[in-house]
Amino acid sequence: MRLQYPPNLRIIEVPCTGKVDILHLLQAFEQGADGVMVVGCMEGDCHYMVGNLHARTRVKRAQEILNTVGLGAERVAMYNLSSGMGGRFAEIVTEMTNKILELGPSPIRRAMGKGQMVREAGEATT
Partner 1 sequence: MIKAKPKPLEEIIDNVKDFSKLLIAGCDGCVTVCEAGGLKEVKVLASALRLYFTQAGKQVQVDEASLTRQCEKEYLAQLNDRMEGYDAVVSLACGVGAQYLAEMYNHKPVFPGVDTCFLGVNEERGLYSERCQACGRCILAETGGICPITRCSKRMLNGPCGGSDKGKCEINPDIPCGWELIYERLKTLGQLDRFERLVEPKDWTTSRDGGPRKIIREDLRI
The answer to whether 30 contacts partner 1 (rule: CB under 8 A) is yes
82: nearest Cα among 52, 54, 57: 52
Q: Report in angstroms how near the CB of residue 61 gets to partner 1 at its nearest.
A: 8
Task: Choose between 25 and 92: whose C-beta lies nearer to partner 1.
Answer: 25
| Minimum CB distance to partner 1, residue 81 (Å) | 27
Question: Is residue 113 close enough to count as binding partner 1 by CB under 8 A?
Answer: no
Give the one residue of 10, 111, 114, 117 binding partner 1; rule: CB under 8 A.
Answer: 111
**Phi and psi of 124, rounded to 5°?**
-140, 150
34 lines the binding site for partner 1 (CB under 8 A): no
User: Closest Cα partner for 40 from 19, 71, 62, 61?
Assistant: 19
DSSP, collapsed to helix, strand or coil, labels residue 122 as strand
Closest CA to 1 of 65, 85, 63, 61: 85
Is residue 97 within 8 A of residue 121, CB to CB? The reply is: yes
Q: Please state the closest distance from residue 103 (CB atom) to partner 1, in A.
A: 13
Residue 70 sits in the site that holds partner 1 (CB under 8 A): yes
Phi, psi of 59 (to 5 degrees): -65, -40
Which residue, 67 or 98, has its beta carbon nearer to partner 1?
Answer: 67
* Binding-site ranges for partner 1 (CB under 8 A): 22-23, 26-27, 29-30, 64-66, 68-71, 107-108, 111-112
